[in-house]
Amino acid sequence: MAVCVNCRHHGLCVHRVAIFSPLSAEESHRVAELIVHKEYHKGDFIMTEGEQLSRLVIVQEGQVKAFRSTADGREQILYIFSSGDFFGEKNLLRNQPASYSVQALVDTCLCMISRSDFQQLLRAHPEIGMKIMEELCRRLERLETAVESLGARDGDARVSSVLLEFAERYGEEHPRGVLVRLPLSRQGIADYVGLTRETVSRKLSSLQAEGVVELIGNKKLLIIDKTALEMGSSQD
Amino acid sequence: MAVCVNCRHHGLCVHRVAIFSPLSAEESHRVAELIVHKEYHKGDFIMTEGEQLSRLVIVQEGQVKAFRSTADGREQILYIFSSGDFFGEKNLLRNQPASYSVQALVDTCLCMISRSDFQQLLRAHPEIGMKIMEELCRRLERLETAVESLGARDGDARVSSVLLEFAERYGEEHPRGVLVRLPLSRQGIADYVGLTRETVSRKLSSLQAEGVVELIGNKKLLIIDKTALEMGSSQD
DNA sequence: CGAAGAGTTGATACACCTCAAGTCTTGTGG
DNA sequence: CCACAAGACTTGAGGTGTATCAACTCTTCG
């Protein structure tokens, strides 16, 4: 694992991260000194449930999934972290082992700050604490929505709303709708919305048959009738 | 709604709340001056999804449920807040409308601090911010577990784990096991674990038939074989 | 004591899972 | 650049757990 190529080419990774926005230019440079870079390949594990982590990890480039494994071999995906997102804060703030595993979805470059540097930074800049709090609140709200989805909505609604979520985060304009590059495989989507691979496949096929979406290979999808998805995602 | 009787009888409610523990005795008294008390009866709504709240709310005495309502009339309970817990922080930190409704499960006394007083307090005592962050992390972890439960475990496992959760929080020693005062009705438990009233009832009956628990009326339950629940909660 | 609400139990329906076969996609080496 | 193999995805048939609907019982409280 070499030093991150991106950081050398594209300037300081510190600038990509919202929680460090309160820092001045000079301070950013000083923080950049504290950062360790690491590259991972698609499929590599970055951390494992139960592990005692001692760094804050920031996604510089790429995409990772955070998930829990159940006794019977299923996975439940909790978060998808992309460029600018961070994780490991729980371990630093409460000195607790990781509550989920993290695995690279594509080749990924990460930035890491040691516990002591992070805590010093927090003390020196309380506004960073505020930024982190805001992010934790955003994350709480996402999980609240996930709980509502998994607990009170049927499969169709869950698939519709995950497509809308992906469109929001990874979609781009297209003459006939919104083109979405899916961050997850069918199995991954299934692990995210609490269904099986086969069921997700069927739901997507019927959305296509209804003319709501168009499947483009396995990694892309075109949303033609966004309104239909919005109707469907809030359950009939 | 009169001034809270409990606060007058039992001293300052500020002392019950972990996030204010960094305050000195003198400061606690000053904070107590800022607090408004309100009483609610069982069933009263304390806040409603979408509402723009302008106070931090602390549960002084009693119990409330936080939940979301779906279009088809189902409810998904997200949290049960008891004495010492707080809510509304999301609205104050990010200036966002409430993402859930809150309703009193029993007669309840609440303490409220205005947005501006709270923000002043946060600025003056960054350690309070740290305490809040810790609590947010705890809440995140609870929701992560809930997502795993709802997404990847079957009904039996969910009922077993909710019983263990209640035992942890509301259980008391008993010669034959752990006696649990249930904070929720059957419908409430169903809304918490994503099942229906009838299914919860059946699961509880069969746990009783297996000798794992003993139902005592509708509001109490004796856990006889805790190990069996622990086995069952992690799925077979 | 009676009525209303909460809980239980049974019968049936249906959504999703499981298992299995087949197809499409992707990446690799000749 | 094509051929092939491995992996990912799709589709079908059948089984299962949970929802639904309905009748009934228990609890609570005026």
pLDDT digits (tens, 9 = 90+) for B176-213: 999 999 999 999 999 999 999 999 999 999 999 999 99
Which residues of chain A neighbour B184 with C-beta distances below 8 Å? none
State the Cα–Cα distance between residues B228 and B233, nearest whole angstrom.
9
Determine how β-strand B177-181 pairs with β-strand B171-174.
antiparallel
Side chain identity, residue A214: E
CA atoms within 13 A on the CB side of B57: 26
Report domain extents, chain A: 5-151, 154-233
Side chain identity, residue A195: L
Q: What are phi and psi of A189, to 5 degrees?
A: -60, -45
**pLDDT of res. B229:** 96
Burial of B114-127, coded b for 16+ CB within 10 Å and e otherwise, reads: ebebbeebbeebee
Q: Which nucleotide lies at the shortest CA–C1' distance from A195?
A: C16
Residue contact A93–B129, C-beta within 8 A = no
CA closest to A189 among chain B residues: B151
State the Cα–Cα distance between residues A197 and A113, nearest whole angstrom.
37
| Strand C closer than 7 A to residue B145 Cβ | no
**pLDDT of res. B59:** 93
- CATH code: domain A5-151 is 2.60.120.10
Rounded to the nearest 5 degrees, what angle is found at the Cα of A67, between the Cα atoms of B70 and B81?
Answer: 45
| Strand D closer than 7 A to residue A185 Cβ | yes
Which residues of chain B neighbour A126 with C-beta distances below 8 Å? 126, 129
Q: What are phi and psi of B10, to 5 degrees?
A: -105, 20
Which residues of chain B neighbour A94 with C-beta distances below 8 Å? 134, 137-138
Side chain identity, residue B52: Q
Residues in B lying within 8 Å of A, measured between beta carbons: 68, 70-72, 74-76, 78, 89-90, 93-94, 99-100, 126, 129-130, 132-134, 136-141, 143-148, 150-153, 191, 193-194, 234-236
DSSP SS3 for A10: helix
**pLDDT of res. A76:** 98
Residues forming a β-bridge with A112: A36, A57
Which CATH architecture group holds A154-233?
Answer: Orthogonal Bundle (1.10)
**pLDDT of res. A93:** 87
Give the residue ranges of chain B where pLDDT is below 70: 1-12, 235-236
**pLDDT of res. A10:** 55
Give the residue ranges of chain A where pLDDT is below 50: 1-3
State the Cα–Cα distance between residues B236 and B227, nearest whole angstrom.
12
Which residue approaches D7 most closely, CA to C1'? A185
